[in-house]
Amino acid sequence: MRPGPAAPAPDEPQSKDLWLERYRAAVAKHPERKQRFSTLSDLPVDPLYTADDLPGFDPDRDLGLPGQFPYTRGVYPSMYRGRLWTMRQFAG
């Protein structure tokens, strides 16, 4: 089995800039399968989002816990541990 990427050293700075540097190097070596990724509404999807992309975001207020409003972590407290994933299809 091939080893994965090495874990960063404990004193290595963790930042979006450092991640982007590594991301660009990885993409230069192995290009992504598409030039541009987007949602079904054709909104662009960036390769990484952080808290900096959400001004005014408060995790306690805006994220919620599993099974609690606004259901960003699922509708059941135990999620897939108690129930299988559901595949939903839509048209239109």
- Give the per-residue pLDDT at 7: 63
Q: Which domain holds residue 41?
A: 14-52
Residue with tokens 């990885």: 26
Average pLDDT over residues 2-24: 74
Residue 36 lies in a domain: yes
pTM, two decimal places = 0.54
Residue 3 lies in a domain: no
- Give the per-residue pLDDT at 32: 92
Residues facing residue 38 across a β-bridge: 44
pLDDT band at 77 (very low <50, low <70, confident <90, very high): confident
Kindly compute the dihedral angle of the four CA atoms of residues 6, 10, 13, 16, in this order, to the nearest 10 degrees: 50
Q: What is the number of domains present in the chain?
A: 1
Residue 63 lies in a domain: no
Distance of alpha carbon 45 from alpha carbon 40, whole angstroms: 11
